Amino acid sequence: MKNNLQPCQLIPKPEKKVNQNIDDNPKTEKQLTAKHKGDTRTSKFGNQNNLDKNTTEIAIDKPEKGRNNDGNNQEWIIPKKKKNKPQPIVGSSTSSAGLLKAAPKKAHIHIYRLMPDTSLEEVMNHIKPQAPEATVQKLNSRHPENYSSFQVTVDYENRESVMDPGIWPAGTRLNRFFHLRQNIKPST
């Protein structure tokens, strides 16, 4: 009977009582294993509904700190809190005397579900009043017979006016453009 409970610590049976009640055990917050008439049942946190009140032996599982309890004695991998990245410092100088100039921030917008015969010039002329600096590129659609798609690049300040649903025909879809990162292998 003791061979089945090797990783557990046995609590000695009280001498005066014939049966030990779980309510008498002060360590009910631990995981308990009850052995009664050849039937082993486990309950976490001392749930009495799954265990008999008349238990002859009680064993308390105490897994070693930092070790798995499945018998292979491998260390646990404890997750570490992700460190916050420091916010970048953004320049604020407006003097034009310097030789350095900042590149304007761009927003890329995906416009799709336009008629298949829509041309690049039509989209460019439609966007010009909101963003005169816009550049347009036609994309290969998944279903070119059903609709056409475009990538529009505008200054970041003009993205709200271009993404206004009031300026686009009904049924046209707009999203921020999703760029896949390309794995660039360093040259050796």
Tell me the pLDDT of the chain (188 aa) as tens digits: 445 545 555 565 555 544 444 454 444 444 444 444 444 445 444 444 444 455 445 555 544 455 556 666 666 777 788 888 899 998 888 887 778 888 889 999 999 999 999 999 999 999 999 999 999 999 998 899 999 999 999 999 999 999 999 999 999 999 998 776 666 666 65
Evaluate whether 176 touches 109 at the Cβ level (below 8 Å): yes
**Domain locations in the chain as residue ranges:** 2-60, 106-176
Q: Which CATH architecture has domain 106-176?
A: 2-Layer Sandwich (3.30)
Distance CA(88)–CA(90), nearest Å, equals 6
Residue 114: exposure state from Cβ atoms within 10 A (0-12, 13-18, ≥19): buried
What token pair was written down for 138? Answer: 């036609």
pTM metric for this prediction: 0.49
Distance CA(174)–CA(110), nearest Å, equals 6
Residue 37's pLDDT is 45
Evaluate whether 51 touches 43 at the Cβ level (below 8 Å): yes
